[in-house]
Amino acid sequence: MVVNSLSFLWFFIVVFLVYYLPVISQRKNLQNIWILITSYFFYGFVDWKMLPLLFCITFVFYLLGAWLKASMNRNESKKASRITTLGVVLGVGLLLYFKYLNFFADSFASLLQAIGLRASWSTLNIVLPIGVSFFTFKLISYVIEIHREKIQPADNFIEFATYIAFFPTILSGPIDRPNTFLPQLRKNHNFDYNLAVDGCQQILWGIFTKMVIADTIALITTEAWTNYADKDASYLIYAALLSPVQVYADFDGYSNMAIGVGKLLGFSVTKNFNHPLLARNVSEYWRRWHMSLTSWITDYVFMPLNIAFRNLATLGLFLAIAINLVVIGLWHGANWTYAVFGLYHSLLFIPLLCFGSFGRNKKLKEGKLGLPLMKDLAMMILTYVFVAFGQIIFFAKDVPSISSFISTVANGSWNCSFLFDISTIVPLPMAIFLFCMDWISRKKEFAIQRSSLIYTNKTINILILDLFIALAISFFGYNGQGSFIYFNF
């Protein structure tokens, strides 16, 4: 049941109508119970075999939270630290087991063989629970935040389980932090007309970017990643340059849908993207890209490492960044290509560290005719090209495929005849359109938020704009793709 499907629409209509029934909407506990039931139904619909795991691990972390708080109340700081460590180890262990066990076992065997030792063992048949990378991070941050005394433990199990399993975000995020989400579960949600209309428009924009932009570009990029040996260099470069827009439109599309659904239920879900196409360097790119993940990793990985390496000055900072980005890379899956992806991005930080521009956050200025300044535009394009190269690494099947892809590009022929084919050229104006929309709506949460394009509260104008978008989805949307890239992670 993908979020942009008819089955999800029917499911959500039922969720929505029951959620705002007077008998339920006046009691926060009943609303939470209803959200929890529907979230488990939703998750079970996608992967029912993993429901017991989700329930058990949620229950374990709920108990850990309560135990931790009790220890802290008794001023048993060592015990509290041990409980927190246990929670982190449990969460990381869960991820390691489901995502990385076979990967590390294979890699270790290859390493032993490389140095002449025999190593052979059979790998386990482990089924990856969908959304595990997302809900595990929620679980870990829950215990850490209690230990840091930034949050109070959940009032009851229903509240905590609802936070973990919240159906709009369980499959692909955004990764909500307990300090922002748990308080929302402690009050009842009355229907908010403006928030609901805003949510609907955000969902519509999410569907648009996913189905019209991402899925159309995917026809080009999928062909390039899978059959790169048969393609000429110009086609591969074209696909690589389109790829960042595809991934952005795909994941931002999903995030917008999730946030929009959350708004319809009265929740404020964490923002995941802040117009990353407008980034002028790689540091800014990572501050704008998948923000719920990067802020999580920054808080729990980068900051402790930065403190640990502070004696090494700039080198220490670089090491912290490199480890941070490798962790982000490997979070995506068990493949060395993701580690290389992280390393590649960390190398892009070297010029920023050398010139002292790391961490600078200059405001985007508007030039003549409302366009970006030439210098900013040049930096945006340069950053985009570097990110596009990173996508080659990201989507490579394995590490040798990266060099194979690059050598195909370097030695390949240049035949730009594909640019005269309507099906291959259509994605290009779509990518440029998304870039323009990002620029126009850079101060807004999403491109068609009412006050960004047409400032009005009149119902008729909302209807016209939404109908225009919906018809554009129907006319230009590619409905053969379906799945979201980040469902794989």
Partner 1 sequence: MLKKFILLFLTFCFLYISMMAAAKAFWVTTAPSRLERNVIDSDVHTVVLGASSGEHAWNDSIIPHSINLCNSGVSLGVSYNSLKWIEGYNNVQIDTVIVCSGFASFIYFEDKKLPIPRSSEEIFSILDYPDFLRFYSKKASFWENSLTSLPMWWFASRKLGGAYHYIDREKVNHPRSYDIINAIIESYGGKYGITEQKLYDKCTYQISYLRKIKEYCEDHNMTLVLLSTPVYKYHELLDDTGYRQLMCKELGDSALIADYSRFHLPDLTYYGDLEHTNYKGARYFSNHIVNNGLELQYAIDFAANP
Please give the residue ranges that form the binding site for partner 1 (CB under 8 A). Answer: 20, 191-193, 196-197, 200, 422-423, 459, 462-463, 466-467, 470-471, 473-479
Beta-carbon count within 10 A of 238 CB: 22
Q: How many CA atoms lie within 13 A of 37 on its CB side?
A: 12
- What DSSP letter does each residue of 40-102 carry, written as one string? HHHHHHHHGGGHHHHHHHHHHHHHHHHHHHHHHHTT-HHHHHHHHHHHHHHHHHHHIIIIIHH
Backbone angles phi, psi at 202, to 5 degrees: -65, -40
What are the Cα distances from residue 222, in Å, to 113, 147, 206, 254, 385? 34, 45, 21, 19, 19
- 272 token code pair: 């995941």
Three-class SS of 135-179:
HHHHHHHHHHHHHCCCCCCCCCHHHHHHHHHCCCCCCCCCCCCHH
* Amino acid symbol at 35: I
Tell me: cis bond preceding 276? Omega within 30 of 0 counts.
no
List the beta bridge partners of residue 324. Answer: none
Q: How many CA atoms lie within 13 A of 36 on its CB side?
A: 19
Answer whether 324's CB lies under 8 Å from 297's CB: yes
- What DSSP letter does each residue of 338-356 carry, written as one string? HHHHHHHHHHTTHHHHHTT
User: Which residue stretches of 348-483 are H helix?
Assistant: 350-354, 374-395, 399-411, 422-425, 427-440, 450-453, 459-476
What are the Cα distances from residue 43, in Å, to 20, 119, 128, 162, 172? 22, 39, 14, 12, 12
- In degrees, rounded to 5, the angle at the alpha carbon of residue 280 between the alpha carbons of residues 276 and 282 is 75
List the beta bridge partners of residue 366. Answer: 372
Beta-carbon count within 10 A of 169 CB: 30
Closer Cβ to partner 1, 20 or 433, answer by number = 20
- 289 token code pair: 């890209």
**How many Å apart are CA 433 and CA 426, to the nearest integer?**
11
- Does residue 345 carry a catalytic annotation? no
Which of 147, 290, 332, 345 is the catalytic position?
332
* Amino acid symbol at 346: S
- 157 token code pair: 């199990």
**In 3D, which of 198, 176, 172 has the Cα closest to residue 266?**
198
Question: Which residues belong to the active site?
Answer: 332
